[in-house]
Structures are given as C-alpha cells and as structure tokens.
Structure 1
Amino acid sequence: MKAAEKDRVRRAKAAERRDLAERREAARQAKAYEAKVRKAEVTDERDRKAHEKAVKAAHAVAQQSEVERMNSEVDAVFDDLEGLLAATIDVDDHIDLDTLRKPFDATPFDMPDLEIPLVAPKRPKVPSEPTYVEPAKPKGFFGKRRKLEEARAMARQTHETRKAEWASGVLALEEKYAIELAAYEQAEAERVDTLAAEKDRFRRELDDYNQSIDQFITNLSYGDAEAVQEYISLVVENSTYPDHFEVTHEFSFAPETAELRMSVTVPTPDSFPAVKGYKYVKTSDEIREVPLSQTEIKKRYASVLHQVAIRSLHEVFEADRRGLIRTISLEVGTKAQHPATGRLDFLPFVGVSAERDSFMEFDLSGLVPLATLKHLGAAISKDPVALVAVDVKGVRKS
C-alpha cells in the first residue's frame, strides 16, 4: 500500500506539472492570436465591424486562458502545501556519509585552466628570396650595347637592394620568433611547475577533507554531540520545501538524554496564500481575485503546521539509523510581532515530544497529522492565524 501511495503521488505531481505547462502554453498562444488579429488589415466598413468583433472575441479567449493559467498556479501552490508530508514519504532521509568523501581521481581539479598546455608560437613563413630579373633589350639602332649595360647595372643594384631588404626582414622574423619561442618555453615550464604544485596542494586538501569525514563518521558512531548536530544540519539541508514556503530549523542535541530539541520556523500567517482563484468578468474586462474565506485560511494554515511537525519528526528519526536520537522535543511556529509585547519573537503553534521507537511504527501514508499530534499529547494552537501561541512547557522532555 505504501509503494502504491508513493507511485500515486509521483504520477499526480507529474500530471500537475504537465497541466500547468499546457495552461501556460495555451495562454501564450491565445495572447499571440489576439495580437495577430489586432494587426490584421481592414479594407472597408464591413471588414472593420467583423474585425472589431474578432478582436473582442480573441481578447476574451486570451483573458480566459490567462485566468486558467493563474488558477493552475494557485492550485499548484495549494497542492504543494497540502502535500508537504506526502513529499517526504518516498524520500530516504538517511545520508550515507561515505558518499561525502572526495576521491582524488574522481574529484574535478579546482584549477582546470592549468591543465591546458600553452600554444607554441608558429615559425614564421619566410618570403622567397628576390630573384634577379634581366632587363629587356633596348630598342633602336644606336647605343644599344651601352643602354643595355646601363640597364643591367641598374637592375643589379635594384636586385642587391631588394636582397638586402629581404635578408633584413628574414632576420627580424627569426629574431622575433626566437623571442616568442623563448617566452613560450619559459611560460610553459612555469605552467608545468605550477600545475604540479597545485596538484600536490589539491591532493593534500582532499586528504585533509577525507580525514575530516572519517573523523566525523567515527565521532558520530560514538554519539558525539557536535557530530550529531552536524549530521542533523545535513539532514535538514536536504529537506526540500517549495520555494514559496521557506522553512528554517534550529536544534540542539543533549547526549546525556539522547534528546534533540528542535525549533522549526514557517512563514507567517499574513504571508500565507489568501487567494482561492481568479475569474474573468467580461462586462468590465477585469480579472478579479476570489479570496479564501478566513475559515479556509485558518484550516489550511493549521494543516501546514501539523504536516511540518510530523514531517520534521519523521525526517530526523528516519535519517538517524544508528538510533542516537531517542527523543525529539519539537516546536513549530513563526517569527512575528508578539501580540502582547509587540516585539519580534518566535511564536510556537505546535509543541510535541516523540519517542523514536513508537514513532517509527507509524505509517505516514495513512495517518492524519492532527490526529497523530493529539495522540502524542501535543500542545496545538487553537488559532495560529491570530498568532495565538501555545504553552510548550507542558510538552514532555527527557
């Protein structure tokens, strides 16, 4: 039955996500269609009237689609809040501390840029050596030999000048390349040395970290108070609540009594969702809120408190497979101005104490949180929305 309930919750959540995505896409398409209709060209009076009618119809459809999208999001929020306890049923809250170790070969190096070799400079492409070009033979009948010799002398001089310029250019390229190559070789050698040093540093840090994990595991096996505190901090960090419902935990462990005292803070009643849904009023072209009744707000907020209380007990007891924590004394409330003093204070709305062995026999998939709290002798606020706190002094502690 428990496995079937887990599967049902998973399928329901998946269907909810699909429905919300479909509603968002339908609203987007409706708005896009409305924009397209508005941009349509109108050529005559008959078309103008038809166009106005089409615009109104498209706008109404877009507004209704937007309402459906908004209502789907409201429903999703309330589904999250109504399923706070169910969300932990198919989650194993135990943390395998061995998985916290970081093997050197499997842990990404924290300076990966050092592992990339530098790019060596490319040897420059040397231009071809200039070749001597024999001048053309002069034309005419007189002085051809003299003119040819003069042309040859000028060509040789030009060739020698170009050859000297070429040799100077080649030398400059070679010198520049030699400087770049030397700089590269020095930088690459420095990179290799730095990489080796940083790898050694990285390995030492991993060794220190893994030794601390080993010590943590050893201390926890002995029931060391600090180790238990650290382990529970990991457990509550893994406890994922909806983004719109922030939950914080404070706790202390007393090794002499094996009792964990925990305080869980939830959002204030005035930040709790108060809108039941939305509706589109076509006559005024308005999307209006449909508020929750005060009775419904009280009912839903109380339900959240009861679920958080049972969930907190379950997550800690389930995570503690060693049975180091025998009893949990729990308070669930909010931080708000105290009605009597006006000072910001923690106001407990649920106070309960539970013993491990008896609590672990409960079936979370079949219990009613309020009934379970009453069974445990919890102190429960009659009106948390009005910030009526409970006296937790009467809640049993070891």
Structure 2
Amino acid sequence: MARRSGLMATIAREAARQARISEAERKRYEREQIRIAKEQQRQHIQNEKDAKLRYIESRIEETDDLNYELAERIKDLYGILDHTLQVNDMVSFNSLKINEKFRDFIVPTSISVPLTKPQLDDYINKIKSPNLFTKLIPGFEKKYQSALIEAKQQYENGLVLYEAKENERLVAKDRLKSEYDQEKYMFEIKVRDRNLEIDAFEESYRNGEREAIIDYNAMVLERSEYPAGFPQIFRLAYISDSKELVIDYELPNKDIVPTTMEYRYVKTKDEISEKFRKIQEIKNMYSDVVAGVTLRTIHEVLEADQGNVIDVVVFSAYVHSVDPATGKDSMPYLISIRVTKEKFEGLDLNRVEKSVCLRNLGAQVSPRPTELQAVKPILEFDMVDKRFVEHEDMLGSLQGLPNLMELNPYEFEMLVTDLFARMGLDAKLTRSSKDGGVDCVAFDTRPIVGGKVVIQAKRYKNTVGVSAVRDLYGTMLNEGANKGILVTTKSYGPDAYEFAKDKPIELIDGGGLLYLLEKNGINARIIFE
C-alpha cells in the first residue's frame, strides 16, 4: 500500500506540474495577445496620426497650389503690356507659306526586295546521282530518270509561281509609286497656289491696299497671346488717305480680376478660407488691365508695321454688359485714344506708368471702369465709311447718290448747317470763307453740358493739315465757344490730330461726314475727280 500511495503521489505531483506549466503557458499566451493587441492599437493610433498629418499636409499643399495659381494670375494681369515687349509682333510673310518638303517615297519591305528566282540545279541537286554500285541495281536508272523529270516539273511550277508573285510585287510597287506621285503633285499644286497667294497678299499689303492691311493687322492681333478670359474680339478699319488704322476692341469685364487676395487653411475647421481683395484694389487692377490692353494693342500693330502703312492708330475698347436700368445688352466704351506712330514710338514702354502715359497721349479714359462709366469714342467705328474711296474704285456702284464734291460752296455750307440742325443743334450760318468752307455758329441747348459751338467745313480734295485746326481753335477763342467742330470731305494729317487731342475740338473726316448724313436721312458719296 505504501508503494501504491507513493506512486499516486508522484502522479499527482506530475499532474500538478503539468497543470502549472499549462497555466503558465496560458498566461504567457494571454500576455502575448494583450501585448500584440496593445502594439496593434499603438500602431493604429500612429497610423491615424500619420494619416491625419498627411491629410493636413495635403490640404496645406492644396492651399499653396491655389495661392500659386492666384499669384500667377495676378502676375499675368499686371504683365499684359510687359508680355508683348518680349516678343516680335511682326508677321513674316514667308512664315505664312508652306515651306516643308513632301515626304520621301518609301517602299514597304514586303514589296521592296525582289523574290529569289528558282534555279533548276537546286531541284536536281536534291536527287542522289547514280554510282557504279547503284547502276547495277535493277530499276534504279528508271527511278533516277523519273525523279529528274519530277524535279524539272517542280522547277517549272516554281518558276511559274515566282513569276506570278514577282509580277504582283512589281504591280503593287508601281501602284504605290503612282499614288505617291499623284499625292506629291497635288501637294506641290497646293504649295504653289498657297505661296502665290501669300506673295500676292504681301504685294497688296506693301502697296497700301486697304483690305490687305486690315487682314495683316488682324493676323497680328489674333496671334497675340493673352491669359484665359480675354475675349480678343475686335474690328479693324483702315483710312488710306491718312494712313489711319481704326481698332474697335472688346475688353474682358471686371470679373477678370480675382476677388480673392489669399487662400488660408484653417486646421480647426478643416476648410480653405478666402481673404477677399479690397474693392479699391480691384478697381485699380481693372484700370491697369484696360490700360495694359490699350498700350499693348497699339504697340503690336505699330511694331508689326513692316510696310510703314500706319501713321495714326485710333483705338477704342468696350465691354459687353447689361444695362441695369433697362435689362438690355449694352456696350459701354471704357477708353478711346488717337495717337500718331511718331509720338507712340518715342515712348519707353518698359518704364512708363500706364495710366499717366495714356493721359499724356490724350486718351479718353473712363474714370470708373468697374462701374462701366462710358466715354465717347474719338471715332465711331461705323463712321469709317467704305464709300469714301477713289473714283476708279466705286464710281459704278455709286450712281444715283449725290457727290458732295460737285456741290458749290453755298450748297455745301447749307448741307453742313442742315446736318447739325437735324442733330439737335440750333445752327446758324454766319459767313463763307474764301476757300469754299463754312463758318457756322451753333448752340447746344442742353443745360450744363451745352453751350456755343463753332463749326467749320472744308470741302477739300487734299488732306487737312494742322493749320486749319489752329484756325478753328482761334475762332473758338474769339467767339468764346465751348467746342469746335471741323468737317472735311477728305481726311486729317497726324499733326492735326496731335494738336486737337487735348482740346475741345472734334474732327470729322469724309467717312464720318457720310456716316452722319446717312444717320440723318441723307445718302451721299464723295468722289474726287
């Protein structure tokens, strides 16, 4: 019994030991699981922190990108004039031609390499020739001769197949060559016609033909690269007598200026907020845009004037808007300027202050362009009348219309007097001058803006110079008039415009006179004999 009790005690002790070992293993496993769970939790928290940090960094980077784009936009707006000063605006007529050569004739490999012609020996050499031993074998010679016949037949068949495929190859090659020659011929015809057209265009331009000059300057302005949002819509006209280019240009509206001054990321709200630009700053920037487009456009056409066909540029710019009072579309003009080439080329555009420069050039500028306060264009675009041309160009199409050049001085002075009377002025004819013109004193009866107006007409065949404008200005001073108007059947020289630019004088040339007459029910023409 004692031995049995000792065995049981040993078994019990072993069981207890194993239980302790199992319990220890279980506790170690639980501790390991807890450790792993805590490690996973710490890693999860770290991952969340890293993800949140990366997210915040991405939002900050997004904000930086917005500010960079905003800064580039502002830089582009302020650099409208500077941009064009870095490029040559002249259009090379040679660049308008087709100068590239037609592609070379390349034959595909599949038909470029001649096929290998079958050779009889290649077929015969495959047959084992008889020797002394094989000649003794009955029937061998017969078999050999039969094989020779078959080989020759195979050669003939191969030769027929070769000739057929080689013919197909040559036909395909000839077809490709024929197609290539036809395409090359059509290309050369196109090149010849295009280049002859460009040569004729250049000749017309250099000869001072109106349509060619308009087309050339349209290309100059169309090639001008502006930031996004600029309409780049314009109309051009050209007055040959005074070598005057008239530009009617559409400006972007004030929305072209970003209202946002800066973007900021607010971490606590997780949002990108905007700091808005001051209203006065928006007004100043938009005024700078208007001035920049004006100076840039004039610079471009004058720099590109390789034919020396422009002496004067008239630039007027407007915006498309809606009249808040009527709800109808309106086109208020925000700037208008007439400047001579000589004076403009004397400017250093790299150093000028744009607004001051324009005032010095006598530009009429809206004092509040963001509010669309309009100015009167120096020259109504529609007043550049196409009927005002030389006799040989338009005589046949103008039959039945009175020629103002055929009127005597008295008839012409009455016509001018009646015209301004119809336009609402109290016009009174005073006296005729020796040169056939007319001095007329009129009164604009509107309060505040009205007053005494001196009108003088010049029925001239030649360009009116500065002396006539000086005479009118002297008459104004003598009469105590508020305004002077000079009307001519011809055109004005650059010096006349320069003298009148900062004075209350309006110059109406032949095209403008015809336009005003038509608007008031009088259809006429001007033909120089």
Structure 2 counterpart of 1:72, from 68, 87, 94: 68
Counterpart CA distance in 2 for 1:285 and 1:391 is: 51
- TM (norm. structure 1) is 0.71
Aligned-partner SS, 2:346:
coil
Q: Secondary structure at the match of 2:88?
A: coil
Letter matched to residue 281 of structure 1:
V
- 47, 50, 59: which is aligned to 2:46? 50
1:261 maps onto 2:246 in alignment: yes
Compute the displacement of 1:324 (Å). Answer: 1.2
Aligned to 2:89: 93
Q: CA deviation at 1:101?
A: 4.1
d(CA) in 1 for partners of 2:370 and 2:160?
83
Aligned equivalent of 2:349, options 364, 371, 379: 364
Query: What SS does the aligned partner of 1:264 have?
Result: strand
Contact 1:124 1:173 in 2 (8 A): no
Partner of 1:216: 201
Q: Is the 1:85–1:307 contact (alpha carbons within 8 Å) kept by the matching residues of 2?
A: yes
Distance of 1:44 and 1:332 partners within structure 2: 69
Give the secondary-structure state (helix, strand or coil) at the position aligned to 1:115. coil
- Is the contact made by 1:259 and 1:328 (CA closer than 8 Å) also made in structure 2? yes
Distance in 2, matches of 1:363 and 1:333, equals: 26
Give the counterpart of 1:391 among 376, 382, 392. Answer: 376
Distance in 2, matches of 1:332 and 1:185, equals 66
SS in 2 for 1:288: strand
Q: What TM-score do you get using the length of structure 2 for normalisation? A: 0.55
% identity of equivalent residues = 25
Q: Is the 8 A contact 2:123 2:152 kept in 1?
A: no
Aligned to 2:269, what secondary structure does the other structure show?
coil
1:43 positional shift: 4.2
Deviations 1:308-360 (A, max 9, x none): 00111111112114331111111122223344543344332111111111111
The Cα RMSD (Å) is 3.5
Structure 1 168/47 Cα, relative in aligned 2: closer, same or farther at 3 Å? farther
Q: Give the aligned residue type for 2:289.
A: V
Residue 226 in structure 1 maps to residue 211 in structure 2: yes
Q: How does 1:1-398 map to 2 (within 5 A)?
A: 43-102=39-98, 107-109=100-102, 112=103, 115-118=105-108, 119-120=111-112, 123=115, 177-393=162-378
CA displacement at 1:303 relative to structure 2: 0.9
Q: Looking at CA atoms only, which structure, 1 or 2, has the larger radius of gyration?
A: 2
Whether contact under 8 Å (2:257, 2:285) holds in the other structure is no
Distance, in Å, in 2 between the alignment partners of 1:249 and 1:294 is: 29
Helix, strand or coil for the counterpart of 1:96? coil
Paired residue secondary structure (2:80): coil
Distance 1:173 1:350 in 2: 87
Contact 2:222–2:232 (8 Å) recurs in 1: no
State the Cα deviation string for residues 222-263 of structure 1 (Å, max 9, x = none): 211011112112211232112454423321111122111102
Task: Give the residue type in structure 1 aligned to 2:176.
Answer: R
Shift, 1:74, TM fit: 0.7
Residues 1:47 and 1:318: Cα distance change in structure 2 (over 3 Å): same
Bigger mean CA deviation after superposition, 178-187 or 320-329? 178-187
Alpha-carbon deviations, 1:292-318, whole Å to 9, x = none? 233222221121011000111111112
Say if 1:176 and 1:275 are closer, same or farther in 2 by CA, change over 3 A.
farther
Structure 2, gaps ≥5 residues long:
1-37, 129-137, 380-500, 510-529
Give 1:83 shift.
Answer: 0.5
Offset of residue 174 of structure 1: 5.5
In 1, the alpha carbon distance for the partners of 2:168 and 2:48 equals: 74
- Distance (whole Å) between structure 2 residues aligned to residue 173 and residue 243 of structure 1: 70
Cα pair 2:117 2:162 within 8 Å, conserved = no
Per the alignment, residue 469 of structure 2 pairs with none
Tell whether the 8 Å contact from 2:123 to 2:155 is kept in structure 1 after alignment.
Answer: no
Pair 1:45–1:250, CA change in 2 (3 A): same
Q: 1:181 to 1:54 in 2, by over 3 A?
A: same
Checking the alignment, whether the CA contact within 8 Å between 2:214 and 2:238 is kept in structure 1 is yes
Q: What 5-or-longer segments of structure 1 have no aligned partner?
A: 1-41, 133-148
Residue type of the partner of 2:107? P
CA spacing shift, 1:125–1:61, aligned 2, 3 Å: farther
When the two structures are aligned, how many residues end up with a matched partner?
A: 333
Question: Whole-Å Cα distance in 2 between the matches of residues 301 and 236 of structure 1?
Answer: 21
Distance 1:301 1:46 in 2: 56
Distance 1:325 1:46, change over 3 A: same
The separation in 1 between residues aligned to 2:39 and 2:127, in whole angstroms, is 77
Tell me if the contact between 1:338 and 1:347 (Cα under 8 Å) persists in the aligned partners: no
Task: Report 1 or 2 for greater relative contact order, CA contacts < 8 Å, sequence distance ≥ 6.
Answer: 1
Contact 1:339 1:387 in 2 (8 A): no
